[in-house]
Amino acid sequence: MRKKKLLISNCLLGIPCRYDGSCKKLDCLDELEDKYNLIGVCPEELGGLETPREPSEIFLGRVLTKSGRDVTYEYDYGAELTLSIAKGHAITKALMQDRSPSCGCGVIHNGRFDGGLVEGDGVTVRLLKANGIEVLPASEAEKLL
């Protein structure tokens, strides 16, 4: 039987692509690999941002770095490329990194770089959902098993 495909944030696969050059490898990665054909993406790198990079948060609809640089274009571009990859693989589900300005699902940082959180989705997750792709945050990965 063919495994279903699952779009997943590269950092959850153990790839060091987070803003600080780290990863957030999932504890249940082996079980996910048994059940799904995992298609990894890092929308921020796809959008042209380097790793490591300055932290970014969404504020008033724009994605800004901690020093105030507007990187909305890079986030939007990475989201579009991620959607293209998802469509190319006929993906219907995604598992994305919690709280990220790209991949956050349901809760993201508040845009003030103070650790505060607000309800909302990252740029890529918003686009995926708008195109009918079901997205779960990494904190709910067990629901896919």
Count of domains forming the chain: 1
- Domain membership of residue 80 (yes or no) is yes
- Domain membership of residue 89 (yes or no) is yes
- Domain membership of residue 131 (yes or no) is yes
- Domain membership of residue 114 (yes or no) is no
Pairing of strands 56-59, 62-65: antiparallel
The tens digit of pLDDT for each residue in 23-49 reads 999 999 999 999 999 999 999 999 999
- Domain membership of residue 106 (yes or no) is no
- Domain membership of residue 111 (yes or no) is no
| Domain encompassing residue 51 | 4-97+121-139
pTM strictly above 0.95: yes
The tens digit of pLDDT for each residue in 50-105 reads 999 999 999 999 999 999 999 999 999 999 999 999 999 999 999 999 999 999 99
Closest CA to 26 of 5, 46, 40, 47: 40
- Domain membership of residue 84 (yes or no) is yes
